[in-house]
């Protein structure tokens, strides 16, 4: 009986706390800023975690299987795991809030990285692939975290809010590939294969990201946003509070999803086989890490500028810029000499930048087109499509290179990016 009373009292106190945010615009603005800060901290760790699979996943599989035909398989498997995780993280977030969904996703991803380390130690491809599947949860969660910053953002600042959380991923994501040699040496010093070293960093980083969100993301921004929408409150400060759109725009969701799916396919396909392409031309593991580091930096570092441009110039304008940039990246990747690190850095940087344009403009369209009562679930479903498209790009990339060449793969990617232009032209009538 005493425990029941204490439970009821705690619930009442929690409800009162949440209500205090509904009645206080100042508290809402403070929560908006704190949410961006907490998510940004988690993104630093998350960025370091995702870099491991990108940098050495294909090389680890190639070493275990003895062929490059399946070198794209790790990327495909971890993005398939990302697809499954995106669905569950979205549903968890919708039901229990961002804090529960995001922290659970990161911790599961960390456990997957531990599985990869064990697989490398015992040289088991049978353990490697299911572990990569679980590791993909971290990638999905790192991507979905970008939505948390938009829950209390006005429609005119959503892309900027997305970019503010994404830009902090740069610190971890750039550091990760450039720590390949350091972590490889550390792994060897403790009796673990060098290629498993980056996954030691990934396991630690993902688990830390989950802990940060679980402890610090209180009260939950999505819960507050839903309460604001339920009470039909108009925002007082147009720069910070929740917009009050209550209708769902299916066309906007379709277009936003298509933009992100196409950019994901092109980016993952070319990125996955670049390390293998470089190793064929005699580049060291450190050089591979340098190129991938620039690539991932370009994926996230320009986010603040991109977010501003998406809010000012429009979603579809920046989506067209995405397609154009990806085309240039594909052409340069195709025709750059394999021994030129400089040109490969430029090509992979353009690849990351084009992806950045597409992700932020597409994400903003998704947020614009959904309502808070279904937003997290819809976002999770869209991210499933993104992950599956990445899986398709990763799986096919190795087969294309094995059957033809890296040049062919890059040209296909560049041409595919042109499909963005008719999609966004069709969508112009629905842009807000």
pLDDT of residue 89: 92
> Mean per-residue pLDDT for 369-389?
86
- For the ranges 63-67, 236-240, 303-307, 318-322, which has the lowest average pLDDT? 236-240
Asked if 90 and 366 count as a contact pair (C-beta separation under 8 A), the reply is no
Q: Residue 157 carries which DSSP code?
A: S
Residue 262: which of 176, 336, 361, 172 has the closest Cα?
361
Domain architecture of the chain: domains with CATH: 15-430 (1.20.1250.20)
Residue 367: which of 150, 107, 181, 216 has the closest Cα?
150
> Mean per-residue pLDDT for 351-370?
92
Residue 257 vs residues 23, 151, 208, 253, 378: alpha-carbon distances, Å: 35, 19, 30, 6, 10
- For the ranges 46-55, 160-169, 376-385, which has the lowest average pLDDT? 46-55
Q: Mind listing the pLDDT tens digit for each residue in 129-179?
A: 899 999 989 988 988 888 888 888 777 778 888 888 888 877 777 777 778
> Mean per-residue pLDDT for 182-195?
89
Q: Mean pLDDT for the chain?
A: 83
pLDDT of residue 370: 86
> Whole-model pTM?
0.76
Residue with the larger pLDDT of the pair 161 and 305? 305
> Mean per-residue pLDDT for 22-26?
77
pLDDT of residue 235: 41
- For the ranges 206-215, 268-277, 420-429, the one whose mean pLDDT is highest: 206-215
Q: Mind listing the pLDDT tens digit for each residue in 101-111?
A: 999 999 999 99
Residue 152 vs residues 30, 149, 241: alpha-carbon distances, Å: 10, 7, 5
pLDDT of residue 266: 93
Q: How many CB atoms lie within 10 A of CB 405?
A: 14
pLDDT of residue 236: 39
**Integer Cα distance of 383 and 425 in angstroms:** 23
Residue 226: which of 254, 246, 206, 198 has the closest Cα?
246
Asked if 401 and 271 count as a contact pair (C-beta separation under 8 A), the reply is no
Residue with the larger pLDDT of the pair 202 and 174? 202
> Mean per-residue pLDDT for 17-45?
83
Counting other chains too, the contacts that 13-21 makes at CB distance below 8 Å and 24 or more residues apart are 17/219, 18/219, 18/223, 18/224, 18/227, 19/227, 21/219, 21/224, 21/227
**Integer Cα distance of 224 and 34 in angstroms:** 13
User: Which pLDDT band, with edges at 50, 70 and 90, does 329 fall under?
Assistant: very high
């Amino acid at each position: 009986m005493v425990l029941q009373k204490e439970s009821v009292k705690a619930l009442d106190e929690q409800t009162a706390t949440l209500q205090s945010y509904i009645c206080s615009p100042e508290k809402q603005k403070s929560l908006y800023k704190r949410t961006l800060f907490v998510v940004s901290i988690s993104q630093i760790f998350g960025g370091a975690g995702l870099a491991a699979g990108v940098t050495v996943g294909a090389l680890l599989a190639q070493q275990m299987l003895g062929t490059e035909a399946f070198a794209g398989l790790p990327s495909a498997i971890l993005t398939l795991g990302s697809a499954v995780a995106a669905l569950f993280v979205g549903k968890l977030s919708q039901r229990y809030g961002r804090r529960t969904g995001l922290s659970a996703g990161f911790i599961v991803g960390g456990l997957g990285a531990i599985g990869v380390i064990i697989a490398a130690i015992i040289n088991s491809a049978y353990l490697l692939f299911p572990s990569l599947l679980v590791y993909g949860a971290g990638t999905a969660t790192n991507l979905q975290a970008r939505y948390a910053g938009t829950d209390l953002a006005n429609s005119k600042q959503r892309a900027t809010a997305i970019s503010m959380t994404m830009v902090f991923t740069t610190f971890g994501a750039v550091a990760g590939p450039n720590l390949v040699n350091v972590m490889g040496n550390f792994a060897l010093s403790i009796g673990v294969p060098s290629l498993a070293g980056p996954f030691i960093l990934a396991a630690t980083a993902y688990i830390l990201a989950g802990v940060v969100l679980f402890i610090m993301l209180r009260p939950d921004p999505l819960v507050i946003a839903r309460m604001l929408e339920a009470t039909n409150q108009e925002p007082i400060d147009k720069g910070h509070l929740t917009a009050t759109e209550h209708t769902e725009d299916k066309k906007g969701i379709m277009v936003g999803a298509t933009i992100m799916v196409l950019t994901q396919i092109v980016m993952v396909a070319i990125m996955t086989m670049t390390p293998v392409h470089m190793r064929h031309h005699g580049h060291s593991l450190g050089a591979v890490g340098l190129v991938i580091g620039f690539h991932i930096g370009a994926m996230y570092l320009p986010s603040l500028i991109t977010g501003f441009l998406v809010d000012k110039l429009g979603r579809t304008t920046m989506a067209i810029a995405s397609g154009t940039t990806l085309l240039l990246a594909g052409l340069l990747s195709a025709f750059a000499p394999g021994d030129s690190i400089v040109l490969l850095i430029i090509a992979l940087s353009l690849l990351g930048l084009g992806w950045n344009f597409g992700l932020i403009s597409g994400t903003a369209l998704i947020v614009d087109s959904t309502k808070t009562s279904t937003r997290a679930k819809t976002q999770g479903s869209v991210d499933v499509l993104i992950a599956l498209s990445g899986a398709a790009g990763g799986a096919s990339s190795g087969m294309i290179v094995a059957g033809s060449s890296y040049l062919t793969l890059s040209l296909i990617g560049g041409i595919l990016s042109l499909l963005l232009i008719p999609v966004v032209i069709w969508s112009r009538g629905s842009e807000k």
